[in-house]
Chain A
Amino acid sequence: MSKGEIVAGCLAPHPPHLVYAENPPQNEPIAEGGWEQLRWGYERLRESLADVEYDAIVLLSPHWQTYIGTHFLGLPKFKNLSVDPVFPNLFRYHYDLDIDVELAQQIHDRAADAGLAVTMMKNPDFRVDYGAITTGHMFNPAWDKPLVVISSNRSRDYYSVEVMQEMMIELGRVTREAILASGKKVVVIASNSLSHRHFTTESAIPEDMSKEHITSHAMHLWDMRMIEYFRTGQAQRILDEMPEFTEQAIAESDGGGLSWLLSTLDVPTYPGILHGYGTIIGTGNAIVEWPARDHQEASE
């Protein structure tokens, strides 16, 4: 069996507004566009990977929040209606997604061996969270690749950002090992925003872009600082500054996705490609790709 490979790592945020603005047939509400900067960013990300072959997408979603360790979707198919409990006016999406249960189990088993608390989720009535579906749709609207969906273990809430990072870096390490051992080519995705302070009001037309901006200058500065690190291959500094970033920017990296992603990529020292940045109801969102396929030697 040939050696598995991570072909790319992506930061690919999931506010449901993006799917809403795209008007795909699966989503019930209708929009007059909106958030184009980010949607074009997703377009560039998709183009960047259009000629890259891969077998599966491994995605960590901050909206499947688990307090009892890390969970993996563990059945081959999930089909249901996903309604966002926070923005039900924007997101009511009929999904039908395939899971690479074999790969999920392999990551699960290695994580268990490493001492992490892990569970395979095998209840067929389970409703997949809207974050996983939004990122899944924006990344691959054809839904023609199976997914591994990993929950967000809320260890940050129980302990601290530092402990969360330790656990997520370990989970990233075993995720990487399992992928390399699987013989599969995989894209790994962290589905989270950067700064995460929302507006507490919504304009009458949610997609009214004249109302969209970052909630504060401080949030902007943090987002730009992180993006600078993304673009200059300074992943270690991101991990080092994660506690301050997460607390001061109320960042959605609190769910562990970004730390996990950088660990699956072996803490890359090569630049990430910034495909887009924009705000959604005040929160900061960047679409970034680390083209790991071009830097194999760096991580061997």
Chain B
Amino acid sequence: MTNGELLGSYIVPVHPHTVLAPEQNEGWGRLREAYDIAAQRIKDSGADLLIIYSTTWPSIIGHQIIADPNPEWVMVDHDFHELGSIPYSFNIDEKFAHAWNDANEKRGLKSRTVAYHGFPIDVGSVVALKLLNPDNTIPAVIVSSNVYANRAETTVLAKACMDVVTATGRKAIAITAMSLSNRMFTKPIEPKDDRIHSLKDDEWNRKILELLGEGRLEDVGQLSRTIHRQIRVNKVVAFKPMWWLSGMNTNRNNLTGEVLAYEALHGAGGAVVHLDPTPSGAGDIEYDEDNVEYFAGERNVLDGDQREHQEDLESNFEAPTEMVQENGPALWDPTESKDSVNSEAAPKPVGAYPHARRVGDLLYLSGVGPRQPGTNAIPGGPIHDKDGKPLNYDIKAQTQAVVDNITRILEEAGGTINDVLDVTSFLVDMDRDFQGYNEVWAETLGKVGPTRTTLAIRALPTPIAVEMKVIAKAPKTK
């Protein structure tokens, strides 16, 4: 069997005008023509699978995947019911759906398949499948958008999907059913009066399409949060589909992009974009976050699950002390000099430097992590094992341990935690950890009142999630 691959990706609009009323407005008609061109290209490509990520199907318990081989019903839009009804009968690849579900679980995601008579396929998926696969010749799968999913989770969802595409030798097309700017007019309008809701939305849409036209999909993925803030009404689902689509394309920035149409749909930005995997352009990528392979996020809210997960963790690694020594750089004794301040009560450095150094009225501390002096254990657990496999960890416990270590170093110098003036904090996973870190901060250093800067960085030298760089008032004594 040949290896599976992604033959192409498409971004398509969700509202039903392209199916039900393309003749009522020239723009709607142009979107429909672009949809028809995309359908022809998909047919000509020889694809044997359509994979749809739909923003109009929100989910709460992980991601859901349609696994009913032949879902049939009549779809009526919640807002645009006056345009009419869309009867549908789709050809779903049940086997692929189950395999994707299994692959999700292997990569740490919550996931389930859905195969119930009368399940309401969402408007975005109905419109996309009706127009891209008019004869139902190519089997499809549809996945929901989880309302709580972050970028790591959405990226891993794509990787799990590609695991199955590759393993089963499929020739797949990835499709995101979505709006660009999603602000609609809040009153009924005449079809002829349709336009993008505002100049600002239009400008942002054009910038996104310029990047996509240059094949810079990962750049759009990295801008997702900014785009969401700028031109997205906070509906249930944020601007996540570009994370998924970029994940499906191995986070590439050098695809061959083509914008087939861009028009307004009741004020929202609708576009049909084709992204071909043929390399073009520079492909320059600036990673702003980790490229996550396995999701170890906060999906263990129920107590029982937490216990199960805890047992997994415990059986997975030896005592934390050994772990760190095998799992990170060698430990050093702190360097000594005239102005240095070192403490037996602080963890050993990972290089030739002192714990702190006094200059005039100020005390400069080397970066302080959560490792425990003596044992080198990491409170809250390490972030990965010695093979680099991610582990669940407790950011609050790690942050508290950092603050405790800072306290020890300052006390050794004859001062107290109240002397801290300025802190630079480094987090390896801002999305996951900022809130927990911030809570501990508020209870500890937040009460002291230093200035603070928090940065996301790719990694720290030991398997820890947080480190702080501190400047403090030097104590008068000593």
Could you tell me which A residues sit within 8 Å of B by CB distance? 64-69, 71, 81, 83, 85-88, 92, 117, 119, 121-123, 125-127, 129, 151, 154-155, 157-158, 198-203, 211, 215, 281-282
Contacts and interface: CB of A to CB of B under 8 A. Distances in A.
A68 B185 CA distance: 7
Q: Residue among A68, A121, A126, A282 with the most chain B CB within 10 A? A: A68
A64 B76 CA distance: 12
B184 A68 contact: yes
A284 to B, nearest CB: 15
A85 B123 CA distance: 12
Interface string B24-61: 00000000000000000000000000000000011111
Contacts of A65: 78
29 contacts: A64-B78, A68-B79, A68-B184, A68-B187, A69-B186, A69-B188, A71-B79, A71-B81, A81-B117, A85-B58, A88-B114, A88-B116, A88-B119, A117-B186, A119-B188, A126-B76, A158-B186, A199-B301, A200-B61, A200-B110, A200-B148, A201-B62, A201-B299, A201-B301, A202-B61, A203-B302, A203-B304, A203-B305, A215-B301
A123 B148 contact: no
* Binding site secondary structure of chain A: loop
Contacts of A88: 114, 116, 119
B119 A123 contact: no
Nearest to B188: A68
Contacts of A122: 81-82
A155 B186 contact: yes
Contacts of B235: 154, 157
Interface string B393-416: 000000000000000000000000
Nearest to B114: A88
A127 B120 contact: yes
Contacts of A127: 76, 120
Given A88-B116, A92-B116, A123 B79 contact: no
B300 interface: yes
B170 interface: no
Contacts of A199: 301-302
A282 B303 CA distance: 12
A236 B298 CA distance: 37
B187 A69 contact: yes
Q: Residue among B119, B122, B184, B186 with the most chain A CB within 10 A? A: B186
Contacts of B58: 85-86
Interface string B67-98: 00000001010110110110000000000000
A59 B106 CA distance: 44
Contacts of B187: 68-69, 117
* Binding site secondary structure of chain B: loop
B122 A85 contact: yes
Nearest to B183: A158
Contact of A85 (B74, B120, B146): B120
Contact of A121 (B81, B117, B185): B81
B188 A117 contact: yes
Contact of B299 (A119, A200, A282): A200
A157 B183 CA distance: 10
B188 A81 contact: no
B266 interface: yes
Contacts of B298: 200
Given A151-B78, A199-B301, A215-B301, A92 B110 contact: no
Nearest to A124: B85
A250 B77 CA distance: 26
Contact of B118 (A81, A198, A281): A81
Contacts of B84: 123
A203 B148 CA distance: 18
Interface string B99-126: 0000000000010001011111010000
B234 interface: yes
Given A86-B59, A200-B62, A202-B61, A66 B79 contact: yes
A127 B304 CA distance: 37
B72 to A, nearest CB: 12
